[in-house]
Structure 1
Amino acid sequence: MARPRTPLLSRDRIVTTALALIDTEGLEGLSTRRLATELSVSGPSLYNHFATKDDLLDAVVDTVMGEVDLGMFEGQEAPEWRTALRDWARSYRAALAAHPNIVPVLAQGPGRRPNALRLADAVFGCLVDAGWPRGQATRIGALMRYFITGSALGSFAAGFPEDAQVYAAEYPHLGEAHLLAEHRRSIDEGAFETGLEALLDGLELRYRRIVGATH
C-alpha cells in the first residue's frame, strides 16, 4: 500500500501545529479553517480529535504546562521549600516566555488539564510537607502563579518608546527611558529575579513567624 502524501492526523500533531500558530499569530490566529489549512486536511476532520475549539485550547495550554520542570519536587526526601519554589518559578516563567501568546488562556486556572493539576499538586504538597498551614499554602501557590504569569504577559522594557524626545520636556526622571528597549531581555529577566527573591524573602519571614513558632 502506498504511503499517504499527508501524515495521518493525531492529537499531538494538531496540538503542535495549533501552538505554533498561536506563537506566531496570537490567539486570534487560531481558527478551525486556518489550522486545517496548515495541516492540509479538511476542517471537519479536526473534530474527530477535538469536539470544540476550547477543548483544543485546553490541550495546547496543557502541553505548555508539560514543559515546566517539576523534578525539584520529586524524590524520597522532602525538598527545601524555598529552593524548590525558586527553581520551579524559573522553569515556569521560561515555559511561558517561550509561548507568551497562550498566557491569557493559561491564567484562567488549571481546569481539568492534567499537567496543570499535576503542577498545582506538586507546589501545594511541597509547601504543606514543609509545615505551611494548608490555607497559607493555597495562598502562596496563587501568589506565585499571579507573579509568574504576570511577568510573562508582556515586556516592561519594550513598552517605552525609543524616541528620547518623548520624555525630554515633561518627564525629567525618564531621561534614559528610550534606551530600555534595547536592553529588554536583561531588564525583564532582572526584574523577575528581583521580584522572585523579594517574594521568597518575605515568605521566609512569614514562615519563621507562622511555622517556626509551632516547632
Structure 2
Amino acid sequence: MPQRAATIVGGGIGGLAAAIALHRRGWRVEVLERATEFTELGAGISLWPNALHALEVLGLAGSVRALGAVEATGGVRDRRGRWLSRTDNAELARRFGHPLVVLHRADLLRTLTEALPAGSLRSGSEVSAVREDRRCLVVDHRRGESRPDLVVGADGLRSAVRRALWPDAAGPRYAGYTAWRMVTEPLAEPPSEGAATWGRGARLGYTA
C-alpha cells in the first residue's frame, strides 16, 4: 500500500503538532509555512494538563517540561492586589496527571520542529490557492503545487485554506482589545507565583 501524504498549511504550534501525529502514524507529511523560517514571535505560554497530555501522546511531554517551569500557585487579583480567586496547581496535577507548565513559545516550537524530518519543513511556501482537480485537492504555493491525500488548514485567523474552500465563512472581527506581550531579563527578586490582575478596562498577567 503506498504511503499516504498530508499537507499541513501553517507552521505554528497546531500545524506542527498535527504533522508530528500524522508522521508517527506513518504518513508522509509536509508543512508549508509562509514565513522565511520556522520561528515564534510570541512571548510565554502556559500549558495546562490537557496540552501536556496531548504532548505525551506525541512523545514530547518530558522534553517540553524540561524546558519550562512548573507554576505552583496563581490566581486572579483585583486592581488593589487583593485575591479574587486562587488556583492550587498541585491539585491540578493530582487530579489530571500533569501540572501547569510555563515556557517560552519559541522553545515549544523548536521542540516540535525537531521532532519532524527536516525535509518536511518548507518555509517560504505561502499558499495562494486550494482547489479541486478530478476529486483531488491541489495546494498551490510559492514552491509549486502539492497533491496530497489530506490537507490540514492550520494557517490562523486569516486562513487561506478556509478562504479557498469556504469563501462565505465569516473571518475575524476586531472586538476592541489590544494586547502587549513581553519577556523580561531575569529579575533579582522574581515573583513566587503567577497572577492576573483585573482593573477597569484593562488586565495584566505575569508569571515567573
User: How high is the TM-score relative to the length of structure 1?
Assistant: 0.23
Ranked by relative contact order (alpha carbons within 8 Å, sequence separation 6 or more), the top structure is 2
Q: Which has the larger radius of gyration?
A: 1
Greater share of helix: 1
User: How high is the TM-score relative to the length of structure 2?
Assistant: 0.23
Greater share of strand: 2
